[in-house]
Structure 1
Amino acid sequence: MRAIRTLLPLTLATLLIGARAAPPGYSEADFTRVPKLDAHVHANRDAPDFLRIATKDGFELLSINVDYPDFPPLPVQAAIAYKMHAAAPNRFHFATTFSMHGFGAPDWTARAERQVDAGLAHGAVAVKVWKNIGMIARDTAGKRVFLDDPRFDPIMAHLQQRGVPLIAHQGEPKNCWLPLDQMTTDNDRTYFRDHPEYYMYKHPNEPRYEQLMAARDRFVARHPKLAFDGAHMASLEWSVDELARFLDRYPNAVVDLAARMTQVQVQSNANRAKVRAFFLRYQDRLMYGTDLTDSPPDPHARAQNPPATNDFAGEADRTWRSDWRYLATPLSQHVGAIRADAPGLALPRPVIDKIYYRNARRFFHLGG
């Protein structure tokens, strides 16, 4: 009994020493001093605002050019990216893209490769494909085009040979196929209400969510050596369990968190321990991103997700600080899009460093 009495204080002392030795998590005060990289933004305006607030808040940026009709034409997006990267090459990175116009024509592959190579020559670190593949684009014969179409194989081989990652936005949040009153977040309700052409609940003859995910999965499986970034949590934002299964099946894939934080918060409010365990387990496969979009002022512009604003720098700062509070600290905050308070995940410092910086630097071959 005496030995047991002696052991108990020693064990307690050891635990206390271990607890003191464990590195503390980050606080809100650490936000600006920790290196960070927002791996999913859109700089569509030739202006210094984005870089200025990114510098102030300690961010590098990865701006993604997109074949999207609500954005400036692709040549304009490219010119802005080239200029901003040349002005701040260590802080402003960008992904190029190609047009789907004329897909299926004999010269389409050569034209797409020329567009890609032009972007890479100016410093692009990745190539983006958008949800128009699967949801909008048709070939020259009028047939809907999906990502697993073998006619994409030559350009994907071109990327793989050059070691260039692919960023793929396929499908939409699962909310897109639900009635407005069954959606889980108000930001999705606003976006799909104002973009009815992308609101698939209103288009029952269009491809279903499951079809788009299956086509994406077949594509990833067919290109196992292509570095693949599933934008927007690979459109599996509604379930960390489903996203875990995706990451387990495809070791060449990572995902970014852009514009899907509210869906994560819905899940962590239901089961914080499970969501936190997901971030810990897949800490090497997740990259921070927001989808912040700095576009020219347009009084007729429709809602974006995140919303457009007349105070872009302020919106960027608020978004970044809110996400930091949620991911890096235990503090709670009210999240209007889910009409609830969301306690923070308080992820350990090494995990935050990976998600916010090191994973993207490694995946996009930026060093570090």
Structure 2
Amino acid sequence: MLPQSIDDWKLKDFLPESELVLPEHQVDRPRFPAIDAHNHLGGIVRQGAEAVSRLLDLMDSLGLRAMVNLDAGYGSAVSLEECLRLLKEPYPERFILFHTLNWKRVEEGEGFGERMAADLREAVARGAQGVKIHKSLGLRIRDPQGRLLMPDDERLAPIFAAAGELGIPVLYHVADPRAFFRPLDGRNERLEQLARHPDWHFYGGDFPQFEVLMEAQARLVRRHPNTTFISAHLCSYVENLRWVSDLLDACPNLNVDLSARYEELGRQPYTARRFFLRHADRILFGADFEPEAWHYRVLFRFLETDDEYFPYAIGPRPQKGRWRIYGIFLPDDVLRKVYAENAARLIPGVR
């Protein structure tokens, strides 16, 4: 029963249902076989071979020809050895492993970048096909003097130089959505999400401002023109695709993935479609969510149809923000590139 006065209503109880009558299309499989270039399979690897077999069945049903696992190394749920044994060795065409760095090396003092670069070379020799850098770089990792270590710190340059020499991509998740760096008040469009995950709020204290991280990201990519970068989540600045587009234009070694950002893209469909058409060769398909059929199918629907104003998640309460999304109905040539061709070109050993 609702309160007598609207002033007494609670936000959690406001769950409006749209009265729009619109065409709806269910897309069970992508139009072309896809490579999920951004996922975390540590939990599945921990469960063992049977869980991996179930994942393969799901991938087959969803038209996913391969999947990148970003949990393979230091600081991850599982080791590179476990991932090689359960994923890469039995299914070499289906799984791609990215090495994660050992940030405890920073505590060792001078020369930590060179030692981390040596770790990377060893991981690639054992079977890693790329390197993943977590958002904790720039937000939480500190140098031996206690200062935040920024992505463009010259002491890390040996890592990026090594990646370029090895011919492997660097997948870097820098920062987080812009709203995570805003005050947590009634004007923050991610208020409900941040209330559920207060550790994702990076406002105040000695956290750097969002713009500082974006500038550091741009400097990093420019300083290493011979290294291939894949900036996760559309450079973490999907709210400003003009900025992302300008950086792509300026840096031919930069690419982006769309993982965990279709919800943001889908509320700006005209701008998003123009962005995909302009940068079709630079965008990788990716999920960054626990592999579930419904989630992929919403993503396929967003990319392939012109459906309007549909929910991006299951359930009455949105996970990220109070909006719905629109499809961007990409043409076949763009879908082929985004779904798989770009990943196959950028990641060694992928066909």
Q: TM-score range by the shorter chain?
A: 0.7 to 0.9
Residues in 2 aligned to 1:206 and 1:91: alpha-carbon distance in whole angstroms: 39
Does the CA contact (< 8 Å) of 1:287 and 1:355 recur in 2? yes
SS of the equivalent of 1:172 reads coil
In the alignment, which of 281, 285, 289 is matched to residue 284 of structure 1?
281
Residues in 1 aligned to 2:135 and 2:72: alpha-carbon distance in whole angstroms: 10
Residues in 2 aligned to 1:33 and 1:261: alpha-carbon distance in whole angstroms: 17
Equivalent residue for 1:308?
Answer: none
Equivalent residue for 2:346?
Answer: 363
Equivalent residue for 2:229?
Answer: 228
1:354 corresponds to which letter in structure 2?
K
In the alignment, which of 63, 67, 82 is matched to residue 61 of structure 1?
67
Residues in 1 aligned to 2:215 and 2:111: alpha-carbon distance in whole angstroms: 28
**CA drift at 1:107:** 5.3
- 1:25-63 Cα distance to aligned partner (Å, 9 max, x none): xx8567256210110000013232333311221211011
In the alignment, which of 29, 33, 56 is matched to residue 51 of structure 1?
56
Work out whether 1:317 is the aligned partner of 2:293: yes
Work out whether 1:347 is the aligned partner of 2:330: yes
SS of the equivalent of 1:135 reads coil
**CA drift at 1:181:** 3.7
**CA drift at 1:214:** 1.0
Over 3 Å counting, the alpha-carbon distance change for 1:213 and 1:122 in structure 2 is same
Does the CA contact (< 8 Å) of 2:302 and 2:326 recur in 1? yes
User: Unpaired segments of 5 or more residues in structure 2?
Assistant: 1-24, 46-50, 313-317
2:274 corresponds to which letter in structure 1?
A
Equivalent residue for 1:142?
Answer: 146
Does the CA contact (< 8 Å) of 2:259 and 2:287 recur in 1? yes
SS of the equivalent of 2:151 reads coil
Equivalent residue for 1:35?
Answer: 33
Work out whether 1:166 is the aligned partner of 2:170: yes
Does the CA contact (< 8 Å) of 1:51 and 1:92 recur in 2? no
1:62 corresponds to which letter in structure 2?
V
Does the CA contact (< 8 Å) of 1:102 and 1:139 recur in 2? no
User: Unpaired segments of 5 or more residues in structure 1?
Assistant: 1-26, 294-312
**CA drift at 1:100:** 1.1
Residues in 1 aligned to 2:200 and 2:74: alpha-carbon distance in whole angstroms: 12
Does the CA contact (< 8 Å) of 1:170 and 1:234 recur in 2? yes
Residues in 1 aligned to 2:92 and 2:294: alpha-carbon distance in whole angstroms: 25
Does the CA contact (< 8 Å) of 2:266 and 2:324 recur in 1? no
Residues in 2 aligned to 1:185 and 1:290: alpha-carbon distance in whole angstroms: 20
Residues in 2 aligned to 1:324 and 1:141: alpha-carbon distance in whole angstroms: 47
2:82 corresponds to which letter in structure 1?
I
User: CA RMSD, aligned part only?
Assistant: 2.3
Equivalent residue for 2:128?
Answer: 124
Equivalent residue for 1:89?
Answer: 92
Equivalent residue for 1:79?
Answer: 81
Over 3 Å counting, the alpha-carbon distance change for 1:180 and 1:264 in structure 2 is farther
**CA drift at 1:67:** 7.8
Residues in 2 aligned to 1:107 and 1:151: alpha-carbon distance in whole angstroms: 8
Residues in 1 aligned to 2:267 and 2:189: alpha-carbon distance in whole angstroms: 7
Deviates more, 1:159-168 or 1:113-122: 113-122
Residues in 2 aligned to 1:40 and 1:236: alpha-carbon distance in whole angstroms: 17
Equivalent residue for 1:303?
Answer: none
Equivalent residue for 2:311?
Answer: 334
1:350 corresponds to which letter in structure 2?
D
Does the CA contact (< 8 Å) of 2:114 and 2:158 recur in 1? no
**CA drift at 1:363:** 1.0
Over 3 Å counting, the alpha-carbon distance change for 1:86 and 1:232 in structure 2 is same
**Matched ranges for 1:293-304 at <5 A:** 293=290
2:304 corresponds to which letter in structure 1?
A
Residues in 1 aligned to 2:180 and 2:222: alpha-carbon distance in whole angstroms: 25
Equivalent residue for 1:208?
Answer: 209
**CA drift at 1:215:** 1.1
Instruction: Give the number of the structure whose residues are more often helix, by fraction.
Output: 1
Over 3 Å counting, the alpha-carbon distance change for 1:117 and 1:319 in structure 2 is same
Does the CA contact (< 8 Å) of 2:71 and 2:98 recur in 1? yes
Equivalent residue for 1:306?
Answer: none
Q: Compare CA radii of gyration and give the structure with the larger one.
A: 1
SS of the equivalent of 2:80 reads helix
Does the CA contact (< 8 Å) of 1:258 and 1:289 recur in 2? yes
- 1:200-239 Cα distance to aligned partner (Å, 9 max, x none): 12x3432110111111111111111110110111111112
What is the TM-score with the length of structure 2 in the denominator?
A: 0.81
Residues in 1 aligned to 2:134 and 2:111: alpha-carbon distance in whole angstroms: 21
